[in-house]
Amino acid sequence: MENHGTGYSEVIKIRAHHLLCIQGFQGYGYSRKFLINLENVIKFLKNHPYSCLEVVAEADVICERCPHLEGGCCNRYLHSNSIKSMDIQVLKKMGIADGHIGQVKNLFSQVKEVINTIEDVEDICGRCSWKDRCSWYLNLEV
Ligand code: SF4
Ligand code: SF4
């Protein structure tokens, strides 16, 4: 499957917990390169709600321009598996497998439906350093 005419030649990979981070993005990030890329990804998703995404528990199109991607893996967290476990928990709550392909619109509706309280995200976002700047997380707290 390809996202023809969108600027991406293949189905975009998005790591599962980024389905949440994208909703909370307020313009903060790790570097200018990272931010430009993330803004482009978000713009693409908004403009192409019927294109397909592959939801994964590994580095994705956002990680690709992140200064914390080292040898294909995220080096930001002390325990290398903790970032992956955030993805796995989101996949579990959504009831989909690693590598699931779905439409942008459907995937965001699905994730909003199953993860929508602060209790739902305690395990997922617990260690994230962006919690106080993530509108998605902050909106769940109130
Ligand atoms: S709090 Fe962190 S991990 Fe959770 S959605 Fe926001 S940016 Fe992503
Ligand atoms: S911090 Fe890790 S998971 Fe987050 S974008 Fe960077 S490489 Fe990817």
The tens-digit pLDDT sequence of the chain (142 residues) is 445 445 676 899 999 999 999 999 999 999 999 999 999 999 999 999 999 999 999 999 999 999 999 999 898 875 556 889 999 999 999 999 999 999 999 999 999 999 999 998 888 988 788 999 999 999 987 6
Position 32 scores a pLDDT of 96
Å from CA of 5 to ligand 1 middle: 30
* Residue 3: predicted pLDDT: 56
> Phi, psi (5° rounding) for residue 141?
-70, -30
Please name the residues in contact with 119: beta carbons below 8 A apart, sequence gap of 6 or more: none
- Whether residue 120 lies inside any domain: the answer is yes
* In a domain? residue 3: no
Q: What residue owns the CA closest to ligand 1's atom 8? A: 21
Q: Ligand 2: does its nearest atom lie under 6 Å from the Cβ of 127?
A: no
- Tell me, using a 6 A CB cutoff, whether residue 69 lines ligand 2: yes
- Domain assignment present for residue 80? The answer is yes
Instruction: Give the model's pLDDT for residue 1.
Output: 45
Closest listed ligand to the CA of 68: 2
Domains in the chain, number? 1
Task: Kindly state if the Cβ of 17 falls inside 6 Å of ligand 1.
Answer: yes
Cα-to-chain-centroid distance, residue 3: 18
Residue 52 included in any domain? yes
Strands 52-56 and 100-103: antiparallel
Q: Whose CA is nearest to atom 8 of ligand 2?
A: 63
Residue 1 lies in a domain: no
Confirm whether 141 is domain-assigned: no
Tell me phi and psi for residue 102, to 5 degrees. Answer: -150, 170
44 lies in which domain range? 12-136
Identify whether 81 is part of a domain. yes
Residue 39: strand, helix, or coil? helix
Residues 27 and 109: their CA atoms lie apart, in Å, by 23
Determine contact, residues 30/68, Cβ cutoff 8 Å: yes
